[in-house]
């Protein structure tokens, strides 16, 4: 596919990684930064808007910087099976400074966890909050009998998220190339 796309003028612009981790055995406990409180999402429209705001702020420096409106975000992440009790919210002084938006799915006929978004506000980065959120998500999945957890990540994440996930025991199971073709203006 790579050769075929390149032969037709496409160029590789980004590589995304699919990462997975088994949840067998004891899991490391999260270590929360000072002043951070942790709780599940209550699922109210107001809280969902606060989670969205935290995620959008955290992902403002993503590739192409294109954000999602609350309506698009909720259409992508909130559905009839959504269980906000799986989501991990970190607050400091009443402000959400980190979120792990999680969902249950099925992989090879077995329940699996999915970290749909892991977001940390700029002022809370480099404090261990991202790793703590990830480990807390693993624990919530394990408490529900889930044996694996996965996520997708941009391999060129400006925050180095893929390195954090690898340090937390996740391994790359697939890479997905994003190709683009420049078209002449009409």
For residue 155, the model assigns a pLDDT of: 81
User: Does residue 185 belong to any structural domain of this protein?
Assistant: no
Mean pLDDT taken over the chain: 91
Measured CA angle at 126 (ends 64, 85), to 5 deg: 80
Separation of first and last alpha carbons in the chain = 28
Residue 165 lies in a domain: yes
Give which of 134, 181, 182, 179 is closest to 16, Cα–Cα.
179
In a domain, 99, yes or no: yes
Q: Is residue 186 part of a domain?
A: no
Rounded CA separation 43/95 (Å):
16
Per residue in 31-64, pLDDT (tens digit) is 999 999 999 999 999 999 999 999 999 988 766 6
Confidence of residue 102 (pLDDT cuts 50, 70, 90): very high
In the chain, the percentage of residues whose pLDDT exceeds 90 is 67
Tokens of 170: 């996740």
Mean pLDDT of 87-99: 96
**Positive/negative CA dihedral, 141, 142, 144, 146:** positive
* Secondary structure class of 80 (helix, strand, coil): coil
CB atoms within 10 A of CB 173: 12
Q: pLDDT-based confidence at 139, cuts 50/70/90? A: very high
Q: Residue 2: what pLDDT?
A: 84
Q: State how many domains the chain has.
A: 1
Confidence of residue 80 (pLDDT cuts 50, 70, 90): confident
Q: Give me the CATH number covering residue 64.
A: 3.40.630.30
User: In the predicted model, is pLDDT for residue 66 greater than 70?
Assistant: no
Higher pLDDT, 29 or 68: 29
Q: Which domain holds residue 165?
A: 2-180
The Cα–Cα gap between 122 and 171 comes to: 26
């Amino acid at each position: 596919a790579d050769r075929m796309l390149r032969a037709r003028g496409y160029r590789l612009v980004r590589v995304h990684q699919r990462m997975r981790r088994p949840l067998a055995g004891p899991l490391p406990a999260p270590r929360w930064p000072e002043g951070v409180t942790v709780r599940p999402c209550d699922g109210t429209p107001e809280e969902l808007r606060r989670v969205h705001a935290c995620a959008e702020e955290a992902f403002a420096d993503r590739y192409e910087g294109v954000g999602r409106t609350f309506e698009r975000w909720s259409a992508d992440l909130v559905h009839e099976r959504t269980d906000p009790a799986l989501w991990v919210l970190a607050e400091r002084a009443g402000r959400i400074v980190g979120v792990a938006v999680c969902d249950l799915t099925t992989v090879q006929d077995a329940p699996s966890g999915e970290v749909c978004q892991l977001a940390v506000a700029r002022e809370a980065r480099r404090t261990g909050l991202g790793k703590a959120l990830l480990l807390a998500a693993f624990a919530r999945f394990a408490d529900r009998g889930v044996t694996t957890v996965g996520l997708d990540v941009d391999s060129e994440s400006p925050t180095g998220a893929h390195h954090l996930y690898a340090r937390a025991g996740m391994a790359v199971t697939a890479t997905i190339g994003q190709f683009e073709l420049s078209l002449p203006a009409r």
